[in-house]
Amino acid sequence: MKTVLITGCSSGFGLEIARYFLDRDWRVIATMRTPREDVLPRSDRLSILALDVKDPQSIRAAIDAAGPIDVLVNNAGIGFLNALEGTPMDTVREIFETNTLGTIATAQAVLPQFRERGEGVIVNVTSTVTLRPLHLLSVYTASKSAVNAFSGSLALELEQFNVRVRVVLPGRAPSTRFGENARTRMTAGFPEPYAELVQQIFANWEKETTVTHASDVAQAVWLAATDASSPFYIPAGEDAVEWYNAR
Ligand SMILES: NC(=O)c1ccc[n+]([C@@H]2O[C@H](COP(=O)([O-])OP(=O)(O)OC[C@H]3O[C@@H](n4cnc5c(N)ncnc54)[C@H](OP(=O)(O)O)[C@@H]3O)[C@@H](O)[C@H]2O)c1
């Protein structure tokens, strides 16, 4: 039986990815900052472990407790939307520590076992914002673009050990807790000179009809995990596929 370890399973894509793999008879290590037993169906193939990707000791403890794993899904991430002038450097650091350094540190922690076994897959969840610049997302986009670049280079050095790296690119998914979670760090508001631009951006979003669903991301991660011939970049969601094809 294969085992997947997923970060950020308390909501959204991570929760759906965990369900998807459980339904397909995998052993699932669903990790969360604050472990909750009530969000996933009970199963003897499910373990719920604490893992905060910003905390190296927490990563180490979770990887040790998980035992051998076949696939790591770096899904945990945070969002933020503002002009750079309205983005405190502490927020910039928090975004990079979670989205970029958290992904790198968790990948680093599983590599010895993958290399020794001569097998393993790392799936990094980034975003279609890395394909085409959008207003007010400079720092978030930079944090995810760094993961794309990191993944490409890592994939090359791991080929010799039969370890695969894939990047899943979801589009905009209003149904997860992403926006709500992002808003908790956006309380200072937008700088006044950018107010008109912000209104335009929000109005444009209202008009968008195609979105990404958590199930699209779970399917893309499944493809990345189970199909050695899958492409390095896998767009997830109708809007994501449109963007990817138009890039
Ligand atoms: N929704 C979108 O529009 C969208 C689009 C493209 C890409 N993405 C990416 O997809 C991934 C999942 O997002 P989502 O839409 O499912 O949002 P979500 O519902 O907010 O889920 C994000 C998850 O990451 C966890 N997390 C945050 N900081 C963490 C940390 N330091 N350590 C461990 N876990 C942490 C959250 O846990 P807590 O409950 O503890 O906060 C939550 O479980 C993220 O990487 C995001 O950047 C989202």
Per-residue pLDDT tens digits for 153-177: 999 999 999 999 999 999 999 999 9
Residue pLDDT, tens place only, 191-238? 999 999 999 999 998 898 999 999 999 999 999 999 999 999 999 999
Binding site membership of 27 for ligand 1 (Cβ less than 6 Å): no
How far is residue 95's CA from residue 111's CA, in Å, rounded to a whole number? 24
Q: Using the atom order of ligand 1, give the atom closest to the CA of residue 76.
A: 24
Q: Do the beta carbons of residue 188 and residue 86 sit within 8 Å?
A: yes
Q: Using the atom order of ligand 1, give the atom closest to the CA of residue 52.
A: 32
Q: Does the CA dihedral 181-48-107-12 come out positive or negative?
A: negative
pTM over 0.95: yes
Q: Count CB atoms within 10 A of the CB of residue 180.
A: 10
Instruction: Give me the pLDDT at residue 173, please.
Output: 97
Residues designated as active site:
140
Q: Which two tokens stand for residue 28?
A: 């699932």
* Percent of the residues in the chain that have a pLDDT greater than 90, as a whole number: 98
Q: Using the atom order of ligand 1, give the atom closest to the CA of residue 74.
A: 45
| Gap from CA of 14 to ligand 1 centroid (Å) | 7
| Gap from CA of 76 to ligand 1 centroid (Å) | 5
Question: 13 falls in which pLDDT band (50, 70, 90)?
Answer: very high
How far is residue 204's CA from residue 125's CA, in Å, rounded to a whole number? 25
Residue pLDDT, tens place only, 107-154? 999 999 999 999 999 999 999 999 999 999 999 999 999 999 999 999
What mean pLDDT value characterizes the chain? 97
Q: What is the mean pLDDT of residues 67-85?
A: 98
β-strands 163-170, 46-50 pairing: unpaired
Q: What is the mean pLDDT of residues 3-19?
A: 98
Domains of the chain (ranges, CATH numbers) = 3-236 (3.40.50.720)
